[in-house]
């Protein structure tokens, strides 16, 4: 049910391309939000913490790639998701 709400945010032309960077970042953000809610209840679940860190890294790498390739799509995506812009290295 939650996944469908994210899919409805994606424009119709992007819905056909499920492998796009935007679609993958939407999926990772959904997983991150669910894991964060889980970890608020279960603070000592260390395996979930490890999984959360791995997903955060994957999302960050995808966002870095998108920011290098197409800055406009990157800005639009982070504004839709309500996440902060990544720090420059």
Range of the structural domain that residue 10 is part of: 2-81
* Count of domains observed in the chain: 1
Residue 29 tokens, joined: 């953000």
> Is residue 66 one of the residues assigned to a domain?
yes
CATH number, domain of 13, equals 1.10.287.10
Residue 88 lies in a domain: no
Q: Is residue 87 part of a domain?
A: no
Position 1 scores a pLDDT of 45
Residue 63: inside a domain:
yes
Identify the pLDDT of residue 15: 58
pTM higher than the cut 0.85: no
pLDDT for 6: 55
Mean pLDDT of successive 10-residue stretches along the chain, which has 89 residues: 54 69 96 97 97 97 96 96 83
Q: Give residue 29's pLDDT.
A: 97
Closest to 9 (Cα-Cα) out of 26, 24, 33, 21: 26
Domain annotation covers residue 89: no
């Amino acid at each position: 049910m939650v996944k469908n709400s994210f899919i409805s945010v994606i424009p119709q032309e992007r819905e056909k391309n499920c492998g796009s960077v935007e679609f993958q970042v939407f999926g990772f953000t959904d997983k991150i939000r669910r894991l964060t809610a889980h970890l608020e209840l279960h603070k000592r679940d260390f395996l979930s913490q490890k999984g959360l860190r791995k997903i955060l890294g994957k999302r960050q790498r995808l966002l870095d790639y998108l920011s290098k390739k197409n800055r406009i799509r990157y800005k639009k995506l982070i504004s839709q998701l309500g996440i902060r812009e990544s720090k420059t290295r």
